Structure 1
């Protein structure tokens, strides 16, 4: 166990954990604590240091503060700086609290029993470690928030009288990722995309909306399989589409997760259903040795029950007052990092986005946005967002290869899946949701209106079975509104030149020359 009294805080550096600083400076806050206590944690995306200039510099994921911001070089000094300027990194804080002595933290509280930051440190210590320090309850002073809502998004909050702290953490000690308030997220929320969606839907006749919703579900289901590199039969795509259509009707529980996996896995002979009983990773195998080359290492199978219980509690929590899209990002990306199943994790991860949006009333009734389709359009960005945490996590995991080409994790990693910075994930999902409301929903509706116009025109001109009409439309769409020479000589040889000309004009009138 370490001690705040013998911790050594570094001086000026130009490189910190392989990250170059914009200028030579002294690491402070979380960076200083990581170094002083040798904490094996994913390094925060943004770090802080004290420079020599008298203006704050923000560059290359560093905040270089002025000399007047410099904290006392102590456990209390750097913890206070972190809470004041850097927000909460719960995984880092938990590892820090495990590394110091109970008495070190108790002494900080005794010295400043009414201090705003000392009470937050005290509360977080007991909340994360699950045991009380030998301290009397706080005096009756004003309550302070556990999460600084100027820095990060928080839940509604419940008062902890012992600490005089309002516990507005949006999860439990078993699962509580956090999201920073960025200009992008603040702008998304201010634009009220929930209201925009309802405005778009209100202009669509009910019968047309039902057809639009059905098309969007099918599109989302197909896209979710494509993201995984799979081309399943149409009946499996439709079955998963129906499942997405029911997302959000009931709160999550373990049985629901197992039901979703069974729906997804068509052939059980080669996939063990249920939570994993072995390690797991996402990546490749070395061709010669079959040794794993992981891009992401999943949670240890011994930790899955606890992590999933925390994730389910996050879904159920009435006190979780997070914005719906942010909550969806936290839950869905939290799930995919845990990777509790042998197969089906990616599609269930995207299903959970639908679940939270529907559960929290973000979707208009009967409509599920084709989020997977938007993700497919942004697949490189999606992979980058997934890697934004997986890459930092990988360096903290000690593992060995198993004889069957799997991984066995050798250290305690559960907290890295309970607590992570989900800010990039929330920004990404909001951009996808905006795309579905701004583009996909109106485009699908407009397409159906145009197709109905085209079909009615054909029916007034020629008696043609539905299947043949759809085939005709397909040829026209593939060839920019013109019927190809092959089609005119083969499937549609019975059409006259005049009929072909009228059909092409009808297509142009219905869809425009490009058929979009």
Structure 2
């Protein structure tokens, strides 16, 4: 079987790029077909093996935009190859895209035999990708409508799964749900969301926050509603607020190489290496610009997923990146105006319950990117990290897994976590009211007992009965249990 398009280019030129999701391969078919994880190509459609530009044009037409490969490939193709195709098809859609990107990546003009005419064409097909209104290049009449810039750009494909989530209108449903609650219940649900979001964001990092640290993070979450634009200084201030060790507090983006490590010792334990400090700074400036523009240009949850995962992949600080990346989800939603009146979707609570999927979304990029680093273990705490790839790996990345996961967690945060907590609070209030109407029980004892009974499936344990036997009458335990089971299991006879 012969590779075609991007797959062929990777093999022929030794391009540093993450694995293709659906490589094009010549197969015994009569037309293009997507078969399992490949794009089956009839032999008659395959460009000649020595026609790199032909493979580029095939890829642009049939495989979409892969800036990571194009950024490395187009500068290697001689200018005369573009000019020959232009002479034959001066207004061709795909040669115009190729010439536009060739000039963007190589800063070298392609000679036009005649001015390009016709309407502007989008670089990214809006039916295939999430796009936004972008800058127009009048020379090639191409609009860069990507999620970023020609120097740093994420792509998000309109998969069936993602389209379903977008059509669900998660943020609209969240606003409607909160607005439907009585004021006091709304305040209690939101306060629970802030506390639980804080606890589980730390728990994902395998850390139990102190009372002071938890309080500072809750205040940080509340600050998201200030809609402060991102900048290096602001991100540094946020990072300082998320860490308690003064030695871990940053003064700027990192100026040394960092890495993530797992349970294995030595080089084998290094699970991800972010870009070099110099590249990290450049790309953080690009990400910050995107973060300050995109929430009002595209679906806020899509923007939040790109910003959150993009941030953690760049890892601009030596500590606190994970918690900050999840905070940026809230900050993005607030900046867009999608969440008001202190509303917060407890996405970290949902993520904590589905950590395996969270890890999969992260590893969709981090695992193949790790393969472009040679890691040499010298001794404990002493490693050498040598990047063997191309900066395009970090400049252009597929955000589809991260965005899809972000929307799934936002939906779960609303329809499971937040709604279940509201139902819990309603049950709590009903039981407390019923007990107070029939018995005289100290308020703090009653609150504790009702809470314990509800979290124990409506059963009052022997230990709790024994613990409160001298302050609460025995019949109260039975009454609480009966009320709880009636509310939790309304259909049980």
Give the alignment partner of residue 216 of structure 2, picking from 239, 242, 260: 239
1:326-405 matches, cutoff 5 A: 326-363=302-339, 365-401=341-377, 404-405=381-382
- The answer on 1:100 being equivalent to 2:91 is no
* 1:282 to 1:324, Cα distance in 2 relative to 1, 3 A: same
Q: What secondary structure sits across from 1:361 in the alignment?
A: coil
Q: Matches of 2:282 and 2:162 in 1, distance apart?
A: 30
Q: Is the 8 A contact 2:152 2:287 kept in 1?
A: yes
Residue 450 of structure 1 aligns with which residue? 427
Instruction: Deviation per CA, 1:229-251: give whole Å up to 9, x if none.
Output: 11111332232123123225122
1:107-126 matches, cutoff 5 A: 107-126=84-103
Give the alignment partner of residue 423 of structure 1, picking from 389, 400, 419: 400
Residue 18 of structure 1 aligns with which residue? none
Q: What secondary structure sits across from 1:177 in the alignment?
A: strand
Q: Matches of 2:292 and 2:8 in 1, distance apart?
A: 37
Q: Is the 8 A contact 2:6 2:24 kept in 1?
A: yes
* 1:132 to 1:241, Cα distance in 2 relative to 1, 3 A: farther
CA-CA distance at 1:292 after TM superposition: 5.7
CA-CA distance at 1:379 after TM superposition: 0.9
* 1:106 to 1:361, Cα distance in 2 relative to 1, 3 A: farther
Q: Is the 8 A contact 1:357 1:363 kept in 2?
A: yes
* 1:324 to 1:111, Cα distance in 2 relative to 1, 3 A: same
Q: Cα RMSD (Å) of the superposition?
A: 2.6
* 1:263 to 1:364, Cα distance in 2 relative to 1, 3 A: same
* 1:305 to 1:451, Cα distance in 2 relative to 1, 3 A: same
Give the alignment partner of residue 260 of structure 1, picking from 219, 238, 249: 238
Q: Matches of 1:207 and 1:129 in 2, distance apart?
A: 60
Give the alignment partner of residue 7 of structure 2, picking from 11, 31, 38: 31
Unmatched segments (≥5 aa) in structure 1: 1-11, 13-25
Q: Matches of 1:319 and 1:156 in 2, distance apart?
A: 13
Instruction: Deviation per CA, 1:244-282: give whole Å up to 9, x if none.
Output: 232251221111111111111011235655422221111
* 1:364 to 1:59, Cα distance in 2 relative to 1, 3 A: farther
Residue 51 of structure 1 aligns with which residue? 27
CA-CA distance at 1:380 after TM superposition: 0.7
Instruction: Deviation per CA, 1:15-42: give whole Å up to 9, x if none.
Output: xxxxxxxxxxx21110011112111222
4+ residue runs of structure 1 moved beyond 6 angstroms?
A: none
Query: Which deviates more from structure 2 when the two are superposed, residues 494-503 or residues 300-309?
Result: 494-503
Q: Matches of 1:313 and 1:106 in 2, distance apart?
A: 35
Give the alignment partner of residue 480 of structure 2, picking from 503, 512, 516: 503
Residue 16 of structure 1 aligns with which residue? none
* 1:329 to 1:478, Cα distance in 2 relative to 1, 3 A: closer
Q: Is the 8 A contact 1:273 1:341 kept in 2?
A: no
Q: Matches of 2:81 and 2:444 in 1, distance apart?
A: 77
Q: Is the 8 A contact 2:435 2:479 kept in 1?
A: no
CA-CA distance at 1:137 after TM superposition: 7.7
Instruction: Deviation per CA, 1:330-376: give whole Å up to 9, x if none.
Output: 11111111111111111111111112222223335421111111111
- The answer on 1:280 being equivalent to 2:258 is yes
Number of residue pairs the alignment of both structures matches:
488
* 1:407 to 1:310, Cα distance in 2 relative to 1, 3 A: farther
Q: Is the 8 A contact 2:93 2:121 kept in 1?
A: yes
Q: Matches of 2:485 and 2:108 in 1, distance apart?
A: 72
Q: Is the 8 A contact 1:137 1:162 kept in 2?
A: no
Q: Matches of 1:508 and 1:285 in 2, distance apart?
A: 44
What TM-score, normalized by structure 1, do the two folds share? 0.87
Residue 316 of structure 1 aligns with which residue? 292
* 1:270 to 1:246, Cα distance in 2 relative to 1, 3 A: closer
CA-CA distance at 1:510 after TM superposition: 4.5
The structure carrying a bigger helix percent of its residues is: 2
Residue 414 of structure 1 aligns with which residue? 391
Residue 62 of structure 2 aligns with which residue? 85
